[in-house]
Structure 1
Amino acid sequence: MSDDDPKQRLAELEARIAAAKGAGPDKPHQEEHYSQAQHAWRMVIELVSGLGIGFGIGYGIDAVFGTQPWFMVLFALLGFAAGINVMIRTAKELQVTKLADLAGQDERDKDG
């Protein structure tokens, strides 16, 4: 046997491995589900943190000025609105990302 034969066989094997890796699905269904759960928790945390920060600011202002519970209620509502706003922005970002992924997948399907 010559020295080229093992090198050639190794190159062919590497090409077959690369082709097999490229032929599989992009993401398993479980990973996609896990990804969606992560996004859902992110949105819940954004809402709760906005509410908590607003509540804390309002409570602090009420403690300083002695106006319980007016500023606490006002800032809790403002924090809730800010949390909803951030959630909507995150949902739009995820929608754009998902549409871009689907468009890229359609292009690969047309080419392949």
Structure 2
Amino acid sequence: MSADDKDQSPERGEISPEDREAIRKRSAELGQKLDALKAQKVRVERSAGGGSQDQSAYGAAFKFAAELIVGVAVGGGLGWVLDRQFGTAPWLMVVLVIVGFAAGLLNVVRAAQEAQAKNEPLQKAAASVKDDDDE
């Protein structure tokens, strides 16, 4: 708006029709750019995993480790108690630690397969990333 336009406007604060149209066009352009950036952000978060998925990945890793440790600890504890009861130390404890490790490992494998099946559609939908070795 030039100084001449201000002098021609009858009331203070009134906007000319040309200025209104320019503001509308600029607002529409900014809205489109904002929508495009929001859509790009959503795509990037989906392909990169996003913040909440990182937290759930840490939770899953903790769950896997806990299942393995608990299996060994329960097997060892049960074996120790049975060894004291029957006087077979340390054989039942050794056997049940191995059984507890196997049970914990089986639980970890099952949970990992379940997580893989749940995340497979996201992995297929993710954009392909070029490896450094492929150059």
| TM-score (ref. length: structure 2) | 0.56
1:50 maps to 71
Q: Is 1:38 matched up with 2:59?
A: yes
2:96 maps to 75
How far apart, in 2, do the equivalents of 1:102 and 1:76 lie? 37
How far apart, in 2, do the equivalents of 1:35 and 1:65 lie? 44
Shift of 1:76: 0.4
Shift of 1:102: 4.4
- Matching residue's letter, 1:74: V
Alpha-carbon deviations, 1:46-76, whole Å to 9, x = none? 0000001101110111010111100001000
How far apart, in 1, do the equivalents of 2:106 and 2:74 lie? 14
2:80 maps to 59
Q: Is 1:96 matched up with 2:106?
A: no
Q: Name the structure with the higher helix share.
A: 1
RMSD: 2.3
Percent identity, please.
Answer: 31
Shift of 1:101: 3.9
Alpha-carbon deviations, 1:1-42, whole Å to 9, x = none? xxxxxxxxxxxxxxxxxxx7x956276622221111110000
| TM-score (ref. length: structure 1) | 0.66
Question: What residue ranges of structure 1 are gaps of 5+ in the alignment?
Answer: 1-19, 107-112
Runs of 4+ deviating beyond 3 Å: 100-103
Q: Which has the larger radius of gyration?
A: 2
Question: What residue ranges of structure 2 are gaps of 5+ in the alignment?
Answer: 1-34, 127-135
Shift of 1:95: 0.2
